[in-house]
Amino acid sequence: MARPREFDEDAVLDAAVRCFWSRGYEATSIRHLIENTGLTGASIYNAFGDKRALYQRALEHYVEGSIGERMKRCQAMEPRAAIEVFLSEIVKRSLDDQQHRGCMLVNAALDVTPLDPDFQTVVASVLSRIEAFFLRCIRRGQADGSIGTMFNAEDLARHLLGVLMGVRVLARVRPERALLEGVIGTALALLEPKVNMVGSSP
């Protein structure tokens, strides 16, 4: 009979997230994880496997506790408001990030996936979830008239995903409110029921 775990798994994953998030995957050693989680090396291996396996669990924990929670909360709002709140919160989180850690998911996409095809699949699936969230909101908004139909829903959802990723990367090196809010504001303007394109007839 397996012995019950003698630690709080969520607390350990929270600590692992902070460790990987601040240092990055490659620079995080098992020693760092031992120091931050309070577990022994044997306990880490027994409970989670190797460093890569713990990183994947930590990334999943991060996604569900931040991005997943935000999508679920915003999904209950009116479609146009859901998108605006989602993106505005991203800007706030980026500006409040004094260590300029960025988004752990985006960091994984840039630092880990080029060397690990399996992780590429993991990250791509989360990005697909975010795109699907945007798409559901846009389709609802186009149906009720709160979001314009000049652009098709699929293209708008892809654009918003690209804006989200771009803001998170920009915030690591240029965490400037005017810059980030300007990027978001232009993207939100494309959702307006009536969009006047530059050079178009009135």
Cβ atoms of 112 and 119 within 8 Å: the answer is yes
- What's the pLDDT band for 29 if we cut at 50, 70, 90? very high
Cβ atoms of 117 and 128 within 8 Å: the answer is no
Domains of the chain: 9-189 (1.10.357.10)
As given in the structure block, the two tokens for residue 4 are 């019950």
DSSP H helical segments within the chain, as ranges? 9-23, 30-37, 41-48, 51-63, 69-75, 79-96, 104-111, 117-144, 153-173, 177-189
In whole numbers, what is the pLDDT of the chain averaged over residues?
90
**Distance in angstroms (rounded) separating the CA atoms of residues 148 and 12:** 45
Tens digit of each residue's pLDDT (9 = 90 or more) over 31-56: 999 999 999 989 999 999 899 999 99
Tens digit of each residue's pLDDT (9 = 90 or more) over 160-202: 999 999 999 999 999 999 999 999 999 999 999 975 454 444 4
**Using alpha carbons only, how large is the chain's radius of gyration in Å?**
20
**Distance in angstroms (rounded) separating the CA atoms of residues 190 and 202:** 16
